[in-house]
Structure 1
Amino acid sequence: MSASRKRSVLLAGAGIVSAAWSIQAHAQTSEASDDTAIVVTALRSSGDAKDLPVKIDVFEEAEVRQQQSLAATSNEVLANLVPSFAPSRQKLTGGGESFRGRAPLYLVDGVPQSTPLRPGSREGVTIDLEVIERIEVLFGANALQGLGGTGGVVNFVTVSAPKDGSLEQRASVGLSANDGLDKDGFGWRAHYLIAKDFGSFDAVASASYEERGLFYDAKGRTIGIDNESGDIQDTQARNFFVKLGWEPSDNQRIQAMVNRFYLNQRGNYVRVDGSRTLGRPAISVDGTPRGDLAINDVWTASLDYSHSNFLGGKFSLQGYYQNFKSLFGGQLTASFQDPLIAPIGTLFDQTQNNSEKYGAKTTYALTAIGGLPLDGAIGFDFLRDLTSQPLVLTGRVSVPPTTFYNYAPFVQLTLKPLSFVTLTGGVRHEIGNLEVPDFVSRAGNRADFQRVPVKGGKRNFSDTLFNAGINVKPLPGLTIYGSYSEAFSVPDIGRVLRSVSTFGQSVNTLLDLAPIVTRNKEVGGEYAVGSFRFGVTYFESKSEFGQMLVARPDGTFDLARQATKTSGWELTAGAKPTDWLNVTGGYSVLRGRFDSNADGVLDSDLGAADIGPDRMSIGIDITPDGPVSGRIQSFTYFDKTFTNRLGATTARFKSYTTVDAAISVEVMEPVTVTFSVSNLLDQQYFTYHAQAATAANNLYYAGRGRSYNLRIGAKF
């Protein structure tokens, strides 16, 4: 585990909002001064990020590896690292894992992983963390990367070949177990990576495999497996990654990346539902799930070209492709029933989300335009997304093949009229075209089980999004900033289409297909003196015609379109009293309201499926001279009560605190052994989603109890 220190900067890009943030820089990184320029790839800008007003956390590789040993998925890693991320559900499907109360946009090397037309909440698990070199988290709704990202952007940056021309190899094996060392609780993984820079050509290749066992709570009970929505328990996953680069000249680079991720349930267990009345969680028992087993099957590919001196500026072009298939487990749910196929209550079926997208992003950036302290960037983005959700066992349609085209030109300017003042502003024009064929909705949408024909059609919409920000550094170590920004997204169109139950509906008249424009205001500041840093941010995010999830009795969710507002405070602090001790802390307060009766008043709380709880996190890194280093971290999620417009309580969340610990030992060059303990104090709790987002007994899941992870890694 490498030593770390914090350095804070402020960032901005085309159409993004702002806040304070800190970059993690590790011991193997050169000690940069405060004057060193910071470049973040997700910003699509070559300017110095420190002078611009946007909040970003950048987590370098050592910290990613450390958290990987304490978490089961990349979503859980983010929940550990980012205070305003909702707590992880500890499942494959991350519905309700919001970012600042809204949906994050996931990227891999800039390629969108999210499936906005029919979100399956699986987009956070599409690549093995072993090939991730850095995670860039942009806070707040933004239009920088196009469609989506109303809560922020998460960009997973993949490993590159070493620049010194050496051959680099990495190998690791890992073993995980529950506190009782039960046979069915064991898991293991293996990974190998090879990389080399040959001069004008470089290459990286990686392969990994992982099997996970069952999870246990702090009382030694198995945790219920979610074979319907998808689980991390009892799964096997494999990942193959290749990245090739060619530099035909000193200022040009062509890069190709392909990643294949495949995860599937193994089908050894079934769930026994819990009881909220008795406080009994859902558990897993031996058994064979009915139907086909849940999978995540994802191909991601990109081809990038960059020229650092093109007509006096920097030009970049990325073409990308993704094929995302996520099969959900089967159910006897009411909405699947159809008397023309089988008697009511007996029809078993399951759905699969299919999303195939391709697109392109272009950016051209200039600095010191006309000899003035003015930088600028222009660009154009294109996306084509084809999404469908068939009922695979009966061949019916849940969501018909729906095609979305998105075109977006943008321009962004940065002006520095004084050495301590930076102004930013930009505009982005979004054009969306939606095409839906004629289809017949599910009979189970109606109480009389009649099939409803829906006439297809085309919907066209557009909007112009603005952003502006100011960053002022009046005193050494002090930064004050503010910004306004707008973001563009589409509602969960698949959920709208699959739920049609009224005769005479058509795509051209469904108001729920109208786009979502999110408007953000944000102010904050940061002060750093010596080894101490403190930052505070306040934000508001509004959508006049937003979306929220409404829980059904069977544990599924319907979509409601109402005006929504989220707001919150984020506080961060850090101190390094000695070279070997680093203490960090974070605190977030989140609020969410919506207009329940369309009277223009935000009168009810957003539910736990839409917004996370208040939270405090503390981390202590101990890195003395020598081969041993360690980390202790704690997370406290505070009580939260949800009320409706009449003041009646609709849900409650009971707080809990967990503590994790990890120790690393460099036993010999180049081998490092890391031993990690999650939930060190063996706290018994029910997850945030299980407590407050739904009343279904089948989703009443306890959180993981104390568990262990042993990793042996070598870099040579």
Structure 2
Amino acid sequence: MRTMLRRALPALALLALTSPVSAQQEKPEEIVITATRVPRPITAIPNTVRILDRALLDTQLTVSSSIIDGISQVVPSFSPSRQKLSGFGESFRGRSPLYLIDGVPQSNPLRNGSREGFTIDPIAIERVEVVYGANAIQGMGATGGIVNFVTRSAPRGGDWVNLAKISVTAADGLEDDGWSYKGGYFLGKSWERWDVAAAASYESRGLFYDGEGRPVGVDTTQGDLMDSDSWNLFAKVGYRLTEGQRIQLMANAFEIEGDADYVTVPGNRAANLPTSSARGEFPGEPTANKVRTASLDYTNDSLLGGQFSAQAFLQDFEGVYGGGTFANFQDPAIDPTGNLFDQSANNSEKQGVKTTWVRDGVLPGLQVALGLDYLRDKTYQELVQTGRNWVPETLYQTWSPFLQLEQTFLEERVRIAGGVRHETAELEVDDFTTLASYGSQFVEGGTPSFEKTLWNLGGVVTVVEGVQLYGSFAEGFTMPDVGRVLRAIDQPGQNVDEFLDLEPIVADNLEVGIELRRGPVAASAAWFSSKSDFGQVLIANADGIFEVGRQKTEIEGIELSLRWDVTDAYAIGASYAILEGEFDSDGDGGVDQDLDGTNISPDRLNVYAEAEPVDGLNARIQLAHYFDRSFDGGDPRNDFDGFSLIDLYAGYRLPAFQGLEQGPQLEFGVQNLLDRQYITYYSQTTRPTDNSAFYAGRGRTFTLSLTAGF
């Protein structure tokens, strides 16, 4: 803790220097969070919470069309984006985030293919709610926190709202194959009882180039964003049954698929030469994400004296990965030459129901929330070319009742909240035979199960108007990547009930912090500790394929943030995150080795300035500095050399003309303004002998977009 405080002092000094001496008192606008199941003001939540509203999203998406890039830029304890389709190695507070769309889970822990960040296009998103730290309120997966994509809704009253947006992105050298194009459309309208919202988008991405003008290496195995096409269709329809009852149907279809026009050109780590790309055809099916998400919501504002909500949902996910003549795929019965080409696809089908009933005033100041959740998740990993299953079909089912209480005192200046959630889960696996590379082992199926009770307790104290102290303890859980475990069984005579340890990964998150929102100043400071007695660490084997290690892990961090609206037209801000993490490498019960770059992010400082010097013109410049990091007990070749990146944004409202209530919005973004040449964090800190995965980050890119509303 002392070491972390010493490392935080430079950032504390920076925040102090940029803070005003005094701030006039003014009650802030109330922001309501929905990711906590019971919609509540942000000031009532005993955790760090960050909102990316539509204005901030538009700014970040003009700099980069990837919403993961935008989240990573704004949330400093989120790992640096890999700029790939795969989010493998990206973490939140050193653990896994749970991705949601309107509360519908997108993450696939049973066979984690790290593609859950790309299941919806930002054209359909109104805001992103980021809840820091482990919690179980949304069920399985949030050991690092929650990232909830809240979709757009119809405006209230009035005529149809139509928004059309087009954008074009070019690399610094204006290379012919480096251009990207995107178009999107949103419309919505509400009537007395009905409301409708819909969106559609299409994006074609060209090749990425690094700061030295070389093509960035394409990831033909895990999947890439560059040289790809994506489309999204979204619709939401609501109907008010009575004054206090409403139903709503949401559906979203998203696909991204590589064009497979390029092949990998290995780099040279010893010479610091990054992996590159060259024209060529890669065999097999293109890498892809194909995702369908739907939910049916019902709300009743006066059921048994309380508010009732229910959601039935489904999600169908298929992630296709690139292939190769990997040793794991070889089978002499199919190809005795040892050159069998194959590729895998992760498949997950989720169905579930979430119910919540909330009643205020059971006793003076007491709120009671009751709920019952059900989740059914069928997951498997197949080999596309030969039709074999690499991971057998697994069926996970869980019932989860929960109770949450909140008591307020002193005219709501003090809030104490606590709750409990009980998970009853079962995993069903039929008999299966592993691939030939594992010895074609016959494995007897089984139905391992577990029950787990998860607790939370927290409080918020409003010291004076706009200043809150908070503290919380919460347990979050996820499942180990059972798919990686089952597919790698290479010993005879195994059965699932005895071999598979289904004990969940439970992260205990302790957090204390302070939030200040007074006049032109918003600031926060938080310390957290996240511990798991039986966690999950991903460790690469000799073939570069990551395997699951169930080991004790401990993570600690400090997060600071500040925003100062200097005048009505100018603002500055900064945020800082320090993370330290260790695991038990020798199994003696004590942590002794640093978590590596696959499992934890570097320390980071973000600084930005915003200006609106004249009506209709706004601009933002932002700096992200990633600090050097070494990993005690790890391979020194995986030490991280930090770097700094600067982005620029400018937007201008053009004059209105006939048929438009307001003029179109013209936006210009520059990513990596100084054209810095750098190797990504993931590539520096993993697989030190793999010259095919030594990826550089994107060099300077320019994006120009135009949005018209009518």
Letter of the 1:707 partner, please give it: T
2:26 and 2:518 in contact (8 A); partners too:
no
Q: Secondary structure at 2:526's aligned position in 1?
A: strand
Deviation at 1:488, TM superposition (A): 1.8
Q: 1:41 aligns with which of 17, 34, 40?
A: 34
Letter of the 2:160 partner, please give it: L
CA distance in 1, matches of 2:302, 2:692: 58
Deviates more, 1:352-361 or 1:465-474: 465-474
Q: 2:391 aligns with which of 385, 399, 407?
A: 399
The equivalent residue for 2:14 is none
Alignment of 1:170-319 (within 5 A): 170-319=163-312
Deviation at 1:496, TM superposition (A): 0.8
Distance 1:310 1:598, change over 3 A: same
Q: 2:456 aligns with which of 435, 459, 467?
A: 467
The equivalent residue for 2:682 is 689
> Is 1:373 matched with 2:365?
yes
Q: Secondary structure at 1:466's aligned position in 2?
A: strand
The equivalent residue for 1:418 is 410
CA distance in 1, matches of 2:89, 2:520: 37
CA distance in 2, matches of 1:97, 1:563: 20
Deviation sequence 1:276-324 (CA, Å, 0-9, x none): 1111111010000011111111000000000112222110000001110
The equivalent residue for 1:441 is 434
The equivalent residue for 1:69 is 62
Deviation sequence 1:186-226 (CA, Å, 0-9, x none): 01011112111122001112111110000000000000101
2:477 and 2:505 in contact (8 A); partners too:
yes
Q: 1:150 aligns with which of 132, 143, 158?
A: 143
1:203 and 1:245 in contact (8 A); partners too:
yes
The equivalent residue for 2:707 is 713
Deviation at 1:527, TM superposition (A): 3.4
1:46 and 1:365 in contact (8 A); partners too:
no
Deviation at 1:530, TM superposition (A): 3.6
Q: 1:458 aligns with which of 436, 443, 447?
A: 447
The equivalent residue for 1:101 is 94
Q: Secondary structure at 1:451's aligned position in 2?
A: coil
The equivalent residue for 1:386 is 378
1:196 and 1:203 in contact (8 A); partners too:
yes
The root-mean-square deviation of aligned C-alpha atoms, in Å, is 1.5
CA distance in 1, matches of 2:331, 2:111: 23
Deviation at 1:650, TM superposition (A): 6.1
Deviation at 1:513, TM superposition (A): 3.0
Q: 1:520 aligns with which of 509, 529, 551?
A: 509
TM-score of the superposition, structure 2-length normalised?
0.93
| Count of paired positions | 678
Deviation sequence 1:94-125 (CA, Å, 0-9, x none): 10110000000000111111111111111100
2:332 and 2:338 in contact (8 A); partners too:
no
> Is 1:658 matched with 2:645?
yes
> Is 1:576 matched with 2:576?
no
CA distance in 2, matches of 1:639, 1:191: 39
CA distance in 2, matches of 1:679, 1:535: 28
Letter of the 1:656 partner, please give it: F
Structure 2 unmatched ranges of 5 or more: 1-24, 656-661
> Is 1:626 matched with 2:618?
no
Deviates more, 1:504-513 or 1:116-125: 504-513
Q: 1:140 aligns with which of 117, 133, 142?
A: 133
> Is 1:593 matched with 2:582?
yes
CA distance in 1, matches of 2:336, 2:370: 59
The equivalent residue for 2:106 is 113
The equivalent residue for 1:56 is 49
CA distance in 1, matches of 2:551, 2:610: 44
Deviation at 1:52, TM superposition (A): 3.1
The equivalent residue for 1:699 is 693
Q: Secondary structure at 1:63's aligned position in 2?
A: helix
Letter of the 1:431 partner, please give it: T
The equivalent residue for 1:329 is 322
Q: Secondary structure at 2:599's aligned position in 1?
A: coil
CA distance in 2, matches of 1:403, 1:308: 35
TM-score of the superposition, structure 1-length normalised?
0.93
CA distance in 2, matches of 1:679, 1:37: 35
Q: 2:482 aligns with which of 480, 493, 501?
A: 493
Distance 1:636 1:345, change over 3 A: farther
2:449 and 2:502 in contact (8 A); partners too:
no
Letter of the 1:260 partner, please give it: A
Letter of the 1:536 partner, please give it: A
Q: Secondary structure at 2:514's aligned position in 1?
A: strand
CA distance in 2, matches of 1:227, 1:269: 9
> Is 1:84 matched with 2:77?
yes
Deviation sequence 1:354-376 (CA, Å, 0-9, x none): 00000010000111213x11111
Deviates more, 1:625-634 or 1:350-359: 625-634
Deviation at 1:443, TM superposition (A): 2.4
The equivalent residue for 1:164 is 157
Deviation at 1:528, TM superposition (A): 4.3
2:398 and 2:425 in contact (8 A); partners too:
yes
Deviation at 1:36, TM superposition (A): 5.3
Deviation at 1:37, TM superposition (A): 4.4
CA distance in 2, matches of 1:379, 1:90: 38
Deviates more, 1:523-532 or 1:699-708: 523-532
Deviation at 1:526, TM superposition (A): 2.5
2:194 and 2:237 in contact (8 A); partners too:
yes
Deviation at 1:417, TM superposition (A): 2.6
CA distance in 2, matches of 1:33, 1:131: 33
CA distance in 2, matches of 1:425, 1:61: 32
**Matched residues, percent identical?**
44
